[in-house]
């Protein structure tokens, strides 16, 4: 990315503010925390501080960030959206209703979080096991 374009993007603050917005959205919708993001994307926590200072990640890192949020939030964002759009306005139509399981305790929320990360086959195995234990 050329320096003048990077300066323009960082002066607007879109990238960091968008990532921060998506963290909040993901926490409300999926009970996922920043630690989950860093673990699943293999991005260091210090990167967040660099982004806050105006740094823009390399293209491969940017793609991992976009893929993560597209997957968990069921979005169709591009790296360009993350860099050049104010997602707080762009995604204003996304309604995050209180999930039916918002009343669950932390252990139950964590269980749901882990379950969602499993592939379909493993989810079916877990459900079979739970049904056996329930009887």
Question: 34-81 pLDDT, tens per residue?
Answer: 888 898 899 998 998 899 888 999 999 999 999 999 888 888 889 999
| In the chain, domain spans | 3-97, 98-135
- The total of other beta-carbon atoms located within 10 Å of residue 14's CB is 21
Task: Report which of 41, 27, 4 is spatially closest to residue 96, judged by C-alpha positions.
Answer: 27
| Higher pLDDT pick, 68 / 5 | 68
**H/E element holding 130?**
helix 120-134
Is the pLDDT at 12 greater than 70, yes or no? no
The CATH number corresponding to 3-97 among 3.30.43, 2.60.40, 1.10.260, 1.10.600 equals: 1.10.260
- Give, in order, the Cα–Cα distances in Å from 25 to each of 45, 88, 123: 19, 10, 25
Q: Tokens 């993007």 sit at which residue?
A: 9
Position with higher pLDDT, 50 vs 12? 50
* Least confident among 54-58, 85-89, 131-135: 131-135
pLDDT digits 0-9 by tens, 114-130: 888 888 888 889 888 88
The arithmetic mean of pLDDT across residues 20-33, rounded, is: 83
The DSSP secondary structure of 3-58, one letter per residue, reads HHHHHHHHHHTHHHHHHHHHHHHHHHHH---HHHHHHHHT--THHHHHHHTT----
What does the pLDDT read at residue 30? 75
> Model pTM?
0.63
């Amino acid at each position: 990315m050329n320096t003048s374009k990077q300066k323009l993007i960082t002066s607007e603050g879109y990238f960091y503010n968008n990532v921060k917005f998506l963290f909040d959205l993901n926490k409300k919708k999926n009970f996922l925390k920043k630690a989950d993001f860093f673990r699943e994307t293999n991005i260091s926590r210090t990167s967040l501080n660099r982004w806050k200072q105006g740094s823009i990640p390399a293209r491969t890192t940017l793609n991992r960030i976009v893929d993560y949020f597209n997957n968990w939030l069921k979005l169709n964002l591009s790296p360009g959206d993350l860099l050049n759009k104010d997602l707080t306005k762009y995604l204003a139509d996304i309604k995050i209703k209180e999930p039916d399981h918002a009343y669950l305790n932390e252990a139950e929320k964590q269980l749901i979080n882990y379950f969602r990360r499993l592939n379909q086959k493993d989810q079916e195995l877990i459900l079979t096991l739970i049904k056996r234990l329930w009887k």
